Structure 1
Amino acid sequence: MPTISGNIGTSTLTCDYLNVFQFVKKYGNILSLDFSNVPSVVITGLPLIKEVLNHMEQNFVNRPVTLTREHISGKNGLIFSSGQTWKEQRRFALMTLRNFGLGRKSLEQRIQEEAHYLVQAIGEEKGQPFDPHFKINNAVSNIICTVTFGERFDYQDSQFQEMLKLLDEAICLETSRMCQLYNLFPWIMRYLPGPHQKVFENWENLKLFVSGKIDEHRRDWNPDEPRDFIDAFLTEMTKYPDKTTTSFNEENLICSTLDLFFAGTETTSTTLRWALLFMALYPEVQEKAQAEIDRVIGQGRQPNLADRESMPYTNAVVHEVQRMGNIIPLNVPREVTVDTTLSGFLLPKGTMILTNLTALHSDPEEWATPETFNPEHFLENGQFKRRESFLPFSMGKRACLGEQLARSELFIFITSLIQKFTFKPPLNEKLSLKSRVSLTLSPESHHICAVPRL
């Protein structure tokens, strides 16, 4: 590992983010580590995070790509691309999302419609214990699927359920020790069986699913009337006969579509699963939110985004779920593009940068009860209060491009669910807030009861 000038604590790390937290406490806000032999630096504290993600962002705008990830998608798509590819793909994705409803009433109506289907599906459980995982995944995924594929998928669609399970398995196994070993010894690991091979197989099957949807689109594609993201991308590809000068090619169409599918499914659905757990474990919070919902909306209509301004407590609950859920503890990594000095320390080109959202969202100087689920963190004199130290979507040019969509989904889905149900632990069972470490931090598999409200 390269030496970073200055007195920075150094450790070789193959453990989870909680261990990172302990090292930060011991060594300070700029901490160098090795992740699978990748020289890395963890940045802690809002001033330094703002410096990296806003003020000096041009030096930290790239994404590091592990050998595992390079095997899966190369340097294509939206999430792990850099340079021209990232600029072209992000600009196009933002424009296309807006063209197909982002920020408009039409997309809000799609979210409301899907929330209705989810309420129906959960109602069929009749208050008995059930695992909410894939019902929620399917519901959330359907929102981005209407934009990318131009269709939603029924909760009994066996092929789509299989795709959701492949995605869930892949993002869990990608953090396994065997994948770490692949990043270190690819010339050996590519010949050995293990979870890394399952990761590659699952992502390949997901890419084949997307390729199939692209083929379906080509059969009745009208360049003048794009129906969704895939149609719009196919049209964009026709503008560049020389594919060597652009990222608008078949591989990026597959990878960008899959990135939207992954990001538009996993993060929001994981947050919703945390929400139901917190409601079941903090019944007094659930009751207060339900009282506000009953007062502002009642039971006769669905929640809409305009209600948010009149519902500070429910809005605070949504934000507190994100703070406590902490689903991307060290943010999506960045890479130093040129040798850079930060707070007196030299960060060599190629160093991976991790911004410590865990510490930011649990700083006792920022949050009155950092380890406790407490919506009051986002309230002041009964009104909703924005917090500068709340960054679940990151910040800067590489902040989550679906932030507006995710905020809308979280408010409408959470409000719709606790409007119609009271979530409780199964009889004689104790729910846990233990997490499963994958590419996101998600709840362990569990069952919950959704008792219909009269």
Structure 2
Amino acid sequence: MRRLGLGKKGLEHQIEEVAQELVQIFAQAKGQPLDPMLPITNSACNVICTLAFGHRFSLEDKEFLKLMEALESGFKFIGSFFHTLYEIFPFVMKHLPGPHQKALLSIETVLSFGKKEVERHKEHHSLHEPRDFIDFYLLQMGENKDVPDCTFDDENLSQAIFDLFLAGTDTTSGTLQWALLLMASHPDIQDKVHKEIEDVFGSSQIIHYQDRKKLPYTTAVIHEVMRSKYVVLFGLPRRTTEDVDMLGYFIPKGTTVFPDFRSVLLDPKEWETPDEFNPHHFLDKDGHFVQREAFLPFGAGLRACVGEQLAWIEIFIFFTSLLRAFTFRPPGVKELNQEPVVGLTTHPHPYKLCAIPTSYP
């Protein structure tokens, strides 16, 4: 991920361009109610396309829309009851009708999409100057072609591309959906974000990821969105490589362990108001941003999320771009539903809001 340019201007600039495209899509609604889910998800997916393929797609591109439809079907399936049945009884379920059949076809569509991009990369031979994930992977395949039992192959590459979309689209999209819902539900907090951005940058200066240090309140709001409306309940399963005695609990070697993120993100011993949306969890008495040890939405240690830095860049740039351009209001309802829909990740119930341009009369 470091070699792909995370933290460098090239990739960040492309994310800024995708964010501005998203702003334009919201602006087309002219302040009328809109559902933010699809444009946000499409934009997050396009960032992964940039990372994996070295280019992004027009949001009207038929192949891209087919990819998005397949991803949505796959997201709904993974973690569902039928997915569990399929994992337990794969040899039986693959012969039975049900929603898993459509989902499996959708997953195959995503894998095929990745395989086509791999073939295009092979044809153009840009490995002397690798630009994206596929280039770097193909380069690694070439360097290890004579290594016995090497796992760098086309099949694993296709699966890795699928994993990038799975891990990098749904989570970022869900976080941004929660962020806009919470801004519409807490106009006082939204006004403070607007004021901070205006005071620091005015109306014309471009906001980059490195500028987050100039926006302590906005940074605190983003952290609090991720704490209070965590999109991932549990980390990926791990297996102990030796016997472990942790806090008086004996965990034998070979035990499968699921990190419980929810337990720490809502721990009343760590947070003053754990069940409330409160940006002051991340601010000191002077209004300076404070990083909290108990803030672990990406996990911790050597097995923390490898895409954490990409997620931070995306969420910060998308959020500040949207909040700079619009004021978000509920469309004629007293309040928006803040109860989560729980699946592979947690999302808000479908909702609409009014994205009122800051210069809108």
Query: TM-score when scaled to structure 2?
Result: 0.94
Unaligned runs of 5+ in 1: 1-93
Distance 1:233 1:181 in 2: 33
1:212-291 equivalences in 2 (<5 Å)? 212-242=116-146, 244-291=148-195
> In the TM superposition, what is the alpha-carbon distance from 1:214 to its structure 2 partner?
0.9
Contact preservation (8 Å) 1:138, 1:155: yes
Match of 2:307 in 1: 402
Q: Tell me how far apart the structure 1 counterparts of residues 128 and 211 of structure 2 sit (CA, whole Å).
A: 37
- Per-residue CA deviation, residues 370-426 of structure 1 (Å, 9 max, x unaligned), is 111110110002100110000011111111111112111111111110111011111
Candidates 264, 267, 274, aligned match of 1:370: 274
Q: Does 1:359 align with 2:263?
A: yes
Is 2:56 the counterpart of 1:116?
A: no
Contact 2:75 2:170 in 1 (8 A): no
Q: How does 1:27-426 map to 2 (within 5 A)?
A: 94=1, 98-242=2-146, 244-380=148-284, 381-426=286-331
What is the rounded CA distance, in whole Å, between the counterparts of 1:263 and 1:372 in structure 2? 27
Relative distance call for 1:262 and 1:188 in structure 2 (3 A) is closer
Give SS of 1:436's match.
strand
Partners of 1:226 and 1:431 in 2: CA distance: 46
**In structure 1, C-alpha distance between the alignment counterparts of 2:108 and 2:318, rounded to whole Å:** 31
2:347 is paired with a residue of what secondary structure? strand
Determine helix, strand or coil for the equivalent of 1:317.
helix
**Match of residue 76 from structure 1:** none
Is contact 1:129-1:449 (8 Å) kept?
yes
Q: Contact between 1:431 and 1:446, CA under 8 Å: does it hold in 2? A: yes
In structure 2, relative to structure 1, the CA distance for the partners of 1:198 and 1:122 (3 Å cut) is same
CA distance in 1, matches of 2:81, 2:12: 41
Deviation of the 1:271 alpha carbon? 0.6
Deviation at 1:119, TM superposition (A): 0.6
Mapped to 2, the partners of 1:351 and 1:186 lie a distance apart of 24
Instruction: Give the Å deviation of 1:366.
Output: 1.4
Name which of structure 1's ranges 139-148 and 406-415 shifts more when overlaid on structure 2.
139-148
The Cα of 1:227 is off from its aligned counterpart by: 2.7
Distance in 2 (CA, whole Å) between partners of 1:180 and 1:413 is: 34
Q: Write out the 4+ residue segments of structure 1 that deviate beyond 4 Å after TM superposition.
A: none
Report deviation, 1:279. Answer: 0.3
Residue in 2 aligned with 1:443? 348
Q: Which amino acid aligns with 1:159?
A: E
Quick check: 2:194–2:323 contact (8 Å CA) kept in 1? yes
CA separation of 1:112 and 1:359: change in aligned 2, threshold 3 A: same
SS at match of 2:316: helix
Contact 2:176 2:319 in 1 (8 A): yes
Q: How many residues end up aligned between the 2 structures?
A: 358
Q: Which 5+ residue runs of structure 2 have no aligned equivalent? A: none
Contact 1:327 1:441 in 2 (8 A): yes
**8 A Cα contact 2:40 2:177, kept in partner:** yes
Q: Could you tell me the TM-score, scaled by structure 1's length?
A: 0.75
Residue 282 of structure 1: how far off its partner (Å): 0.7
Amino acid at match of 2:222: V
| Contact kept in structure 1, 2:185 and 2:335, CA below 8 Å | no
- In the superposition, relative to structure 1, how do residues 249 and 117 fare at CA in structure 2: closer, same or farther (>3 Å)? same
